[in-house]
Homo-oligomer: A and B are copies of this chain.
Amino acid sequence: MSNTIGTTLRLTTFGESHGTAIGGILDGCPSGIPLDLGAIDADLVRRRTGAPRGESDTVVWLSGLSDDDMPRTLGTPIAFTLANEQTRPDDYDALRHLCRPGHADYTYLQRYGLRDHRGGGRASARETAVRVVAGAIAKQLLSGVTFQTTVTTPAPTTPDDTLGGIVECTIRGVAAGIGNPLFSKLGAALAHAMMTIPSAIGFEMGAGFAAAAMKGSEYIDRWTPDATTVTNHCGGIQGGISNGMPITFRVAFHPVVTIPQPVECLAEDGTLTTVDIGGRHDRYHVPRAAVVVEAMAALVVADQVLISKRGA
């Protein structure tokens, strides 16, 4: 089920980066929730600010919403598309028979026996626009919950190279008791969702890797009488379930792997060919990844809230 994420609130995405359109179906939304479409557009603007490929990202809503001025969810599947503009598949002709280093060209070829050399097909970061739309809806399902992201790595100092970075996310307003034990732990669902974002390479919650070097007496978050804790080393999650404190986690992203220098690409016969890769690519994508982190976090939290409300 590579193209679907979620249990009760499920997002299925479709579309190749250089095809007609990309889009998605968000299924499982409760009915009657008013949606501010402007807030959804605003998240799309955050995602494409600074991006090299100019897309207007106009959402076409196909189903699932009432036709009021302030549309409401109908409880039926919400389907939407985003047209692909300025597709230039010819840019990729030189790469038709070569596997770039750092990219998924070689692994796709091994997995499927063929690959779409034109801009990554389904592997393109273009697909994250669909996640942003769905995540922006999920945020609006979560009344009183806020998502704040900070990019904790400085922007690159050398303009001709590419960088990675860390996105730190704080979710406030999630009541205690949201999540699940065992294989559906809230922290595990967040880790899963974050690691599906292109370029994600690490996840930690609360004190994270630093907690490995703490003593138990330092790590334990002490109670206050109002059931909050003095510290928040656990990141707001205990045993897979929220404790009412802010949920905090960090996602590490490796640098953009399309670099503005010639690189050696691999041909099927083992020949290495030096190529200056064209296409329109980011130098520094992490600030734009922040809104994708929020979107995926909102989808996970909304899903777990809906599951937890069932009472089992």
Which residues of B are found within 8 Å of A219, using beta-carbon distances? 102, 164, 254-255, 257
A234 B208 Cβ-Cβ under 8 A: no
> In this assembly, does A76 line the interface, its C-beta being within 8 Å of a C-beta of chain B?
yes
A289 to B12, CA, bound (A): 29
Interface string of A1-23 (1 = CB under 8 A from B): 11111011010111110011111
User: Which A residues from 99 to 123 make CB contacts under 8 A with B?
Assistant: 99, 101-104, 106-112, 114, 116, 121-123
Least CB distance from A50 to B in Å reads 17
Least CB distance from A39 to B in Å reads 21
Interface string of A116-143 (1 = CB under 8 A from B): 1000011100010000000000000000
> In this assembly, does A166 line the interface, its C-beta being within 8 Å of a C-beta of chain B?
yes
> In this assembly, does A308 line the interface, its C-beta being within 8 Å of a C-beta of chain B?
yes
B215 A5 Cβ-Cβ under 8 A: no
What are 27 of the A-B contact pairs (CB < 8 Å)? A5-B183, A8-B310, A14-B64, A15-B62, A15-B77, A15-B79, A16-B64, A19-B63, A101-B223, A101-B229, A106-B243, A108-B239, A110-B177, A110-B244, A164-B211, A188-B195, A190-B195, A191-B192, A191-B203, A202-B212, A209-B209, A211-B252, A211-B254, A219-B257, A222-B263, A225-B266, A225-B272
Write the residues of chain A forming the contact surface with B, with a CB cutoff of 8 angstroms.
1-5, 7-8, 10, 12-16, 19-23, 25, 27-32, 61-64, 67, 74-79, 81, 99, 101-104, 106-112, 114, 116, 121-123, 127, 153, 156, 158, 161-166, 175-185, 187-196, 198, 200-209, 211-217, 219-223, 225-227, 229, 233-235, 237-244, 252-259, 261, 263-266, 270-272, 306, 308-312
